[in-house]
Structure 1
Amino acid sequence: MSEPFLPLPEAFIKRLQQIVPPQQLASVLESFYQIKPTSFRINTLKSDPEQVKQQLQDEGFDLQPVAWFNQAFTIPNEQRRALTESNAFYQGEIYIQSLSSMLAPIELAPQPGETVLDLAAAPGGKTLQMACMMNNQGALSAVEPVKSRFFKLKANLEQQGASMVKTYLTDGRTVGGKCPERFDRVLLDAPCSSESRFSQLTPKSWSHWSLKKVKEVAKKQKKLLLSALYSLKPRGIMLYSTCSFSPEENEAIVNHILKKFGEAVILEPLQLSINRLQVPANNLQAHSSTSIPLEIQPGLTEWNQKSLHPELANSTRVLPNKVMDGFYLCKLKKIASFF
């Protein structure tokens, strides 16, 4: 039996009213009871994208290309089970992944030959995406502290042919001390309160949520972000992201870093904020596609009547809609050594 349809927590709604622009609030609230299409990415480490695309179309899948990422497609949600039973899925030629989560590796833009860290890697979607972007060339380290999730990560990496990745079962908060200034780029998609995954069709999706929980995860996120920055080389780039709306987990965390390190860290504008995410040169040539809506707002520079660092306007909150999940992204550049 399906779960009863229940309203979202009142405290959560009130916070959204403070965060989301009034003209977009109705569509954001509507997104929490919509069934979104299934999105996936073609694995270029194991397959030719055009061949996989044609194969899936021949099998009857209604593929909708994504304008801003030519290796990504959506299908109607009712075709999801069939996709998980397809040969392309079993062969590791595709990976089912939220469209919003694909933005983080695209914005970090790791290059072949670089030394890159994924500090909270399981189940591995972003790690695998970066391995594709790097053509399996360079050094990509993936960290996960939870044993069950760690072995799921390893299994996904093996199935998808990401041979360049080294995995570490360890707490990400210790990595900065163990590996100071080792990495050219760092991705931290931080564990969070998962507010963007709330669904009024599945009340248990928010059963864990409370303002106390938000504050608890924020403490862990702050330590993870510090560790990530300590592990980053001077002049290196890191991408911080969450699937939460709460400023305590997003702007407030980054604000703490900017206050702590001053001019040694700056926030760089995100590509999707500048040009709505044109396809990077190392992706496939553009083809005609149905536009996937990207609704974004600049990061907050004020919360709860407290001013935050003005550079936080360079961060971005992706607003949820009928296709996209909510997401927060922030790109930091380390200007000078902390040591």
Structure 2
Amino acid sequence: MADPRPTPLDALPPLPTAFAELLDALLPAAWRHTVQASYTAPKTVVWRLNPLRGHDPDQVLQALAPLAPRPIDAALGVYEVEPHWRSALTHHPLVEQGVVYIQGLASMAAVWALQPQPGEEVLDLAAAPGGKTALMAALMGNQGRIAAVEPVRARFHRMRANLLRLGVRCAQPYLKDGTVVGRLVPQRFARVLLDAPCSSQAQFTRLDPTSWHHWSPRKVRASAALQARLIHSAAEALRPGGVLVYSTCSLSPEENECVVDGLLRARDDMTLEPLPWPVELPALPGLTAWHGQTLHPDLSLARRILPTRRTDAFFIARLRKRGA
């Protein structure tokens, strides 16, 4: 029988040295304990009601009452349960039916920042596994069109199955390299979400050292190179007056502020905007300098969401293309 007692902190493997140094460079003193603690304990499980399935919210909450769900702040239809209920929720029939969808707050925040509207044509440039696409469809009332792009075949088929399960009717999946989309359909979309492939630092936990098995500073550099190509494609696909949201589940400035700064230096038609969020999230302003490099001053409008017991590490920036 497994020992139910938690592992002592000093017995847990340390975070990778390069990542620990990154945290030291990024975190103000007031946040250090909270962030460090997030890597040593399971997180609460955040989930949302899926209005596209049309179930009565009160009946759904009654069915999930044994899990003691708690509503989250002002985020309508968003709840959390304690970590020990993760398996019970994951395998619950309401999840299997697409009535409930497990999704992190930071992930939802990227869609909230985009503010997709019913009837619009929207591009999700790195869409798998489809959770953000489904939230966009919910906010749009399944009215309009979402082009959901994914280049990896296995992930593409998983995304398509997820969208079907969640009742998404307004999304059209594409098995396509996102870096070429802007060239193929320039200035087409009213809004573009680029939740870019990244080095996945949000997955790190000292409870499972395999969570950083594939991570390294080299991975960060490789991710940044791909992200730069994708964000230029996203900007090209955006129509004048449109909104582009760039996000990653990484804390590294090389994958975040530096990528956005590169776009702003290459194009004079893109500007940064404040982020509209319905809930208060633990976040720091974007950096305007890193490792001696001066970055665009408006990057302070971006936000780096910090890992806590409830949230994952994330970066979000909202840009608008001039003209209309």
State if a TM-score over 0.5 links the two structures.
yes
Return the match for 1:41 from 48, 54, 57.
48
RMSD: 1.6
| SS state at 1:45 partner | helix
CA contact (8 A) 1:140 1:165 kept: yes
**Deviation of residue 27 (structure 1)?**
1.6
Q: Aligned residues: percent identity?
A: 44
Query: What does residue 107 of structure 2 align with?
Result: 101
Q: Which residue of 2 aligns with 1:53?
A: 61
CA apart distance, 1:145 = 0.5
1:265 equivalent in alignment to 2:252: no
- Equivalent residue number for residue 192 of structure 1: 198
Q: What is the identity, as a one-letter code, of the residue corresponding to 1:40?
A: W
Tell me whether 1:137 sits opposite 2:137 in the alignment. Answer: no
Give the structure 2 partner of residue 330 of structure 1.
317
- Structure 2 unmatched runs, 5+: none
For residues 266-322 of structure 1, give each alpha carbon's deviation from its aligned partner in whole angstroms, at most 9, with x where no partner exists: 0001124xxxx35xxxxxxxxxxxxxx721110000100121110100100111111
**Structure-1 residue corresponding to 2:25:** 18
Superposed CA deviations along residues 29-68 of structure 1, whole A, max 9, x for unmatched, are: 22111201111111100123233122222xx121011113
- The answer to whether the 8 Å contact 1:265/1:336 transfers is no
Task: Tell me the CA shift for residue 22 of structure 1.
Answer: 2.3
Q: 2:189 aligns with which of 179, 183, 186?
A: 183
**C-alpha separation in 1, matches of 2:282 and 2:203:** 17
Deviation per CA, 1:75-105, whole angstroms, max 9, x where unpaired? 1121122223322112210111112101011
Task: Say yes or no: does 1:174 pair with 2:180.
Answer: yes
Per-residue CA deviation, residues 79-133 of structure 1 (Å, 9 max, x unaligned), is 1222233221122101111121010111101000000011001111100000000
The separation in 2 between residues aligned to 1:315 and 1:212, in whole angstroms, is 25
Tell me how many residue pairs correspond in the alignment: 316
Query: Structure 2 residue aligned with 1:318, among 301, 305, 309?
Result: 305
**2:119 aligned residue:** 113
**Contact 1:181–1:234 at 8 Å: present in 2 too?**
yes
Superposed displacement of residue 142, structure 1: 0.3
TM-score (normalizing by structure 1): 0.90
Match of 2:223 in 1: 217
Out of 207, 210, 216, the residue aligned to residue 204 of structure 1 is: 210
The 5 A counterparts of 1:59-74 are 60-74=66-80
Supply the distance in 2 between the matched residues of 1:306 and 1:159 (Cα, whole angstroms). Answer: 46
**Matches of 1:310 and 1:38 in 2, distance apart?**
36
Structure 1: where are the runs of 5+ without partners?
279-292
Between the aligned partners of 1:109 and 1:53, the Cα distance in structure 2 is 26
The equivalent of 2:16 in structure 1 is 9
Corresponding residue number in structure 1 for 2:232: 226
Q: Return the TM-score normalized by structure 2.
A: 0.94
Aligned AA (1:7): P
Residues 213-234 of structure 1: CA distance to partner in whole angstroms, max 9, x if unpaired?
1001100000000000100000
1:208: Cα distance to partner?
1.1
CA–CA distance in 2 between the matches of 1:123 and 1:37?
21
